[in-house]
Amino acid sequence: ARQMLERVGLAEKFDAYPERLSGGQQQRVAIARALAMSPKVLLCDEITSALDPELVNEVLAVVKQLASEGMTLIMVTHEMRFAREVGNKLVFMHHGKVHEIGDPKALFAAPQTEELRNFIGSVNL
């Protein structure tokens, strides 16, 4: 457990109770718990959605580090800048339907569907 907390930058919080951790730290502990099982794939469903904006980057930095280490990640996210920069495959869904699949940079540069064009136009990239 200590090694996993170290991996997500929280070794000093080994003895801390959850109520003593920030939301971002709690998310990183959750990632450490998942990593303790040595998964081949890490599934992340909106891991930053409930966080204060100033805590989002600390969680995304951990996920980015895992990706750079070769961890396969499947993420549901509205962090489009992060998806474009870190992802190697993007699946754009709207109302439960897949509209586009491909390289994130290519999809953001030249969306093929009206749904993705509208979405890109509505978010800060």
Q: Which domains does the chain carry?
A: 1-88 (3.40.50.300)
- What is residue 124's predicted lDDT score, i.e. its pLDDT? 73
Phi-psi region of 105 (alpha: psi -120 to 50; beta: other; left: phi over 0): alpha
Say what the pTM is.
0.82
For residues 114 and 1, give the distance between their C-alpha atoms in angstroms, rounded to a whole number: 46
Computed over every residue of the chain, the mean pLDDT equals 93
Per-residue pLDDT reduced to its tens digit, 46-93: 999 988 888 899 999 999 999 999 999 999 998 999 999 999 999 999
Encode the chain in three state secondary structure: CHHHHHHCCCHHHCCCCHHHCCHHHHHHHHHHHHHCCCCCEEEEECCCCCCCHHHHHHHHHHHHHHHHCCCEEEEECCCHHHHHHHCCCEEEEECCEEEEEECHHHHHHCCCCHHHHHHHHHCCC
Per-residue pLDDT reduced to its tens digit, 33-59: 999 999 999 999 999 998 888 889 999
